[in-house]
Amino acid sequence: MEKVKIIIAGPRGRMGREAVQLINNVEKFELVAVVDRKHGGLKLSDLEGFPSIDVPVYTDFELCLQEAKADVLIELTTPEVGMYHAKTALNYNVRPVVGTTGFTKTDLEELESLCEEKELGCIIAPNFAIGAVLMMKFSQMAAKYFNDVEIIEMHHNQKLDAPSGTAVKTADMISEVREAKKQGHPNEKETMPGARGAEFEGIRIHSVRLPGLVAHQQVMFGAEGQTLLVRHDSYHRGSFMSGVKVAVETVMKIDRFVYGLENILE
């Protein structure tokens, strides 16, 4: 059986560490290199927490792509670096699986265009947890019947982007089946700026950042005499790995750009 050769960008992060273990535990996957902002020239096994994982660490991403001869890049860094990594990987015929959030609409369009040009697969997943993907799909279903909706996303206090990619994707999916609508009292006034959260086609999005949280989101719907709450909680980053595995397997079989794990789940 020929293994899928994988590079991880961001191996020392919390998600990156889980991804390293995932690849180690899946027989058909092989970790061939990692990309880190420091520690270039070392082996991953030289770093704390990676015993016996004897793959090279690169700081120069292009050199990594030239030498590692990988099939897939798992990108788990920051939006700015992640965009560069995804574009460069495609130019080297390496298929990106991206868990980094915070990409702009222009970024996504640029990656989609590059995928078409290169005839390669690329998967951008705002959330790799299968339960979170179902939460988004259920919310989209509910939005056909409930026009008033607010999204509250809650993450750890080290998260850089707000709102989260999951919240943005959820709002985008809801907007596909819901007409834009201004919610609340027509004359409401924020006595403290930002109290009503961000607004996307009338949908209010609220971001919470606290230590102790991992990744949580609830979508609240309201109608006359009733409310509906759709909620998902990730208590450990291991919850994302089933989706990473599916994404790596799928990206090897497709030649197109995919935004959102819900588009590859049957």
Active site (annotated) includes residue 185: no
Active-site pick, 85, 155, 206, 232: 155
Residue 78 has pLDDT above 90, yes or no: no
Q: What is the percentage of the chain residues whose pLDDT exceeds 70?
A: 99
Token couple for 103: 């990409």
Record the pTM: 0.82
pLDDT score of 215: 94
Residue 1 has pLDDT above 80, yes or no: no
* Residue scoring higher pLDDT (253 or 40): 253
Residue with tokens 């697969």: 121
pLDDT score of 60: 96
Least confident of 89-93, 146-150, 248-252, 261-265: 261-265
Mean of the pLDDT values across residues 106-119?
A: 95
* Residue scoring higher pLDDT (262 or 88): 88
pLDDT digits (tens, 9 = 90+) for 210-221: 999 999 999 999
Measure the CA–CA gap between 185 and 76, rounded to whole angstroms. 41
Residue 65 has pLDDT above 70, yes or no: yes
Q: For 100, phi and psi rounded to 5 degrees?
A: -65, 135
Q: What is the percentage of the chain residues whose pLDDT exceeds 90?
A: 81
Active-site pick, 39, 137, 159, 245: 159
Tell the burial category of 30 from Cβ atoms under 10 Å away from its Cβ (0-12, 13-18, 19+): middle
List all residues 6 or more positions away from 185 whose beta carbon is below 8 Å from its beta carbon: none
Q: Which stretches of 39-197 are assigned E, i.e. beta strand?
A: 57-58, 72-75, 95-98, 122-124, 148-155
pLDDT digits (tens, 9 = 90+) for 137-178: 999 999 999 999 999 999 999 998 899 999 999 999 999 999
pLDDT score of 214: 93
* Residue scoring higher pLDDT (192 or 52): 192
Active site (annotated) includes residue 159: yes
Measure the CA–CA gap between 113 and 156, rounded to whole angstroms. 33
Mean residue pLDDT across the chain: 94
Measure the CA–CA gap between 197 and 168, rounded to whole angstroms. 13
Three-state DSSP state, 179: coil
pLDDT score of 84: 95
